[in-house]
Amino acid sequence: MYAFYIYDAEIIKIPYFLFIFFILVVELRMKNNNIRIQESLIKGLKDGNKRSYQLLFENHYADLCDYLYKLSSNASLAEDLVQNIFLRLWEQRTSIHIKTSLQAYLFKSCYNEYMTYLRTQKKQTDLVTSLKHEAVCELFADSQTEIKEEKIVQLETAIETLPSTCKKVFKLSKLEQKKHKEIAELLGISTKTVENHITKAFRYLKTSFGSFLSF
């Protein structure tokens, strides 16, 4: 099997295996040349050479954006993350240590940057959810407080409408927490009468407020 290629406007016939060998040699040379270029750019970057940094950016920016877009399906996010990576690359240029190829290093950096972004988003989402929960609880608590304050005012008003002696007995018993015997001695009535007044007050207030009251 033979292959044909053009050299100086002439078609040359060579064995196919030699043609493949020739192609592989060319690719190997290109690879080695590319490695030397990358090593030179990395050295320039570490030395603070802005031209080296610019060339690194121009050579890899589009591929990295395309990679992150495939991960996130968000072109704007992909560009932002790649810019973060290159910014950090410049800021940390003196301490970077690349064990693999520069391309592999940058793609790995992109992946890590995206994972960090996802973790941050989750934390922010959890925080927002927590804040919403707290806000709802606070609103509910405020609402309950307003309801209780309103009921207290209504209760105070209702107590004031009780008959004079019944009102005195109720206040001494429930507000001042005096015993029935003490109330009887203060008002000059029997303990049985004290109990009757309290029962009467309860019946009236329960009718007015239902299950709200619990004494």
What's the pLDDT band for 132 if we cut at 50, 70, 90?
Answer: low
DSSP state, residue 211: G
**Amino acid type, 107:** F
DSSP state, residue 5: E
Question: Of 7 and 40, which is predicted with more confidence?
Answer: 40
What's the pLDDT band for 10 if we cut at 50, 70, 90?
Answer: very low
Q: What pLDDT score does 4 carry?
A: 44
Sign, CA torsion 33/37/43/46: negative
Average pLDDT, stretch 48-53?
86
- pLDDT of 7 > 50? The answer is no
pTM above 0.75, yes or no: no
Q: What pLDDT score does 105 carry?
A: 85
CB 194 within 8 A of CB 180: yes
Q: Please calculate the CA angle 84-86-89 and round it to the nearest 5 degrees.
A: 110
CB 68 within 8 A of CB 85: no
Chain-wide mean pLDDT for the chain?
Answer: 75
For residue 74, what are the CA distances in angstroms to 70, 71, 106? 8, 8, 19
- pLDDT of 197 > 80? The answer is yes
Q: What residue segments make up the domains of the chain, in order of their start?
A: 2-128, 161-212
DSSP state, residue 210: G
Q: Poorest-confidence range of 119-128, 129-138, 151-160, 167-176?
A: 129-138
CB 55 within 8 A of CB 42: no
Percent of the chain at pLDDT exceeding 90? 12
- 2-128 has which fold? Rna Polymerase Sigma Factor; Chain: A (1.10.1740)
